Amino acid sequence: MSTSLPLLEATQLDKSYGKIKVLRDVSLSIGAGESHVVIGPNGAGKTTLFKVLTGEVFVDKGTVRFQGDDVTRMPANQRVHRGFGRTFQVAKVFPKLSVQDNLWVALEARVRKQNPLAGVSRQDAANFFNSIDLLLADTGLENYRDIISGTLAYGDRKRLELAMVLALEPVVMFLDEPTAGMSASERQATVQLLLSIKRKRGLSMLMTEHDMDVVFGLADRISVLHYGQLIASGTPEEIRHNDSVKEVYLGHGDDHA
Amino acid sequence: MKSTSFIGSGSRRDWLILVLIMAAALWVPSVLNRGLVFIAGMIWINAVFGLSFNLLFGLSGVLSFGQAMFFAAGAYATAVFTQQLGIPFLLALLLSAAVGGLLSGLVGVVALRRSEGVYFAILTLSFAELLHLLIANTSLLGRNDGLSGLTRPQINLGTWQLDLAVGDHFYYFIVLVCGLLIALIRWVIDTPFGRALQAVKQDPDRAEFLGISVRRHRLVIFILAGATTAAAGALVAPWAQIVTPELGHWSNSTNPILYTLLGGSAYFWGPVLGALVLSAVFYVTRTLVGMSDMVTGLLLLVVVLALPGGILGLLSRWTRRSEPAPIIPSDSSAQEKSL
């Protein structure tokens, strides 16, 4: 892929729920291998931005392009097969299935595409056990293989969700508050985990995050969303010294952390 | 896969049970009278009706309140195909299943497009009532009187002939076809498709974002359940030798729900046991005129209030050691969530 072309490019996105304009004229892009963090106070539209970028809901206006293709109206499950991976603010796993079987579902889904009638070859199934070993090792869940995921501690469930998304071998990961609800030490571990995943797999990431240590620990680029509008976008250094950002957000960043 | 948390993995025990109950069913005509043989045949048909419903409810988290429409469609299709169009019986049976599949495809495309949970249940109920009224007002289908005097068929395969009208032949045929349908339903649960449906039931958002098309998966299982339900209905026409609009009445849609809840929706054999027990109850109370509805209602109350896991749920609590492999852990809150 040429470096001049962004991997993902969203242009002039508008989204309203009834009379409430949640996103107004938002444009943003993610380069290959870049980690881009969107920050903003609660209600700024971060989650909605996630939803329209991943295909959970569609925009009223604007376009989303991925690897040069228009994916604005493409359903979520199809975007996944193009290389979109997504985690949720409150981790979503299959609570009645063991850790291993959660990953199994992800691996089968990847092979079967969206076709309900598609099977899985013996060869593929044999490889799944290897993939599961690697994914568990990468996310530090080796000892939880047979645990029913609904009984996992919250932080472990988030790591399982991450492993499930990695099983899809995504090109770009959308992480909605990857450290929400975690203790300080868990948060640090998660930052290390995400950095190592990024290093190892060369993934692009788009994140929302409240915790400023996490934001500045992970971001190559930061965008600031405020009342549905993007008020600044730049390197962490630029954002740190941007006056309008300081005013609306970082000035009382502690309140929001 | 060894030791998994998926529903229905490791199916050897269920194959064994199926073979055993089929073998046991073959004894029925030699020990029971004709009336009871007829009831035994109906239990097999209703077992498939119940299992098809639970393919939706227990496996996939899809609650349909209109399954009677596919049952009636299958029954009427067979009656029309064999008696009015003279289509050979085996072909008519396949075509009737196809009619069920086609009808459920049409209903599913409309109802699954925008609705989930209770809304979907109400929509399926509405479609079923529509079909019920349509049947009851079509003179070709005998209106409210239905079609009666249906003859039991002959099977001609080349030089080989079998007259199903003779003796208990049709009963054996029912056992064979229902056994095959049960095997098909059991097989589906333990495929990648079946596992994806379990994922869809437990968390549709997560499934969608693993690249599973939630809507398509729900549609395909709805079509499959519609086809197997219609196949069960198709056996009723020559067995009872009459089809009436009652087959499509909403109260017939509650039957598979009742079998499933009574037996235990979390267990593969739950709907089968439910169909058996309910038929036994009806048989015992048959002389008490007008009591059967009351008995049904009371039974349902008891099950919902005292036996949330159904009979098999109760048994598995009593006999901890040899737990029937739950097809869903009997946690009612998870089921509610997915509705």
* A97, A149 contact by CB (below 8 A): yes
Segment B116-150, tens digit of pLDDT? 888 999 999 999 999 999 999 999 999 999 999 89
In a domain, B313, yes or no: no
In a domain, B149, yes or no: yes
In a domain, B25, yes or no: yes
**Beta-carbon separation of A104 and B4 below 8 A:** yes
In a domain, A121, yes or no: no
Domain range enclosing B57: 12-254
pTM over 0.80: yes
**Beta-carbon separation of B5 and A97 below 8 A:** yes
Give residue ranges of B with CB < 8 Å to any A CB.
Answer: 1, 3-6, 191-193, 195-196, 198-199, 202-203, 205-214, 216-217, 219-221, 328-329, 331, 334
In a domain, B303, yes or no: no
In a domain, B230, yes or no: yes
In a domain, B90, yes or no: yes
In a domain, A166, yes or no: no
In a domain, B267, yes or no: no
In a domain, A141, yes or no: no
Q: Which residues of A touch B207 (CB under 8 A)?
A: 105, 109
Which of A54, A79, A94 to mutate: most B Cβ within 10 Å? Answer: A94
| CATH assignment at residue B86 | 1.10.3470
| CATH assignment at residue A78 | 3.40.50.300
Domain range enclosing A194: 8-93+171-256
SS3 A102: helix
* B212, A114 contact by CB (below 8 A): yes
Q: Which of A81, A93, A105 sits opposite B195 (nearest CB)?
A: A105
Domain count, chain A: 1
SS3 A169: coil
In a domain, B283, yes or no: no
In a domain, A151, yes or no: no
Q: What is the pLDDT along chain A (257 residues), one digit of tens a residue?
A: 445 679 999 999 999 999 999 999 999 999 999 999 999 988 889 999 999 999 999 999 999 999 999 999 999 999 999 999 999 999 999 999 999 999 999 999 999 998 999 999 999 999 999 999 999 999 999 999 999 999 999 999 999 999 999 999 999 999 999 998 888 998 999 999 999 999 999 999 999 998 999 999 999 999 999 999 999 999 999 998 888 888 876 555 444 44
Domain count, chain B: 1
Segment B278-299, tens digit of pLDDT? 999 888 888 877 777 788 788 8
In a domain, A150, yes or no: no
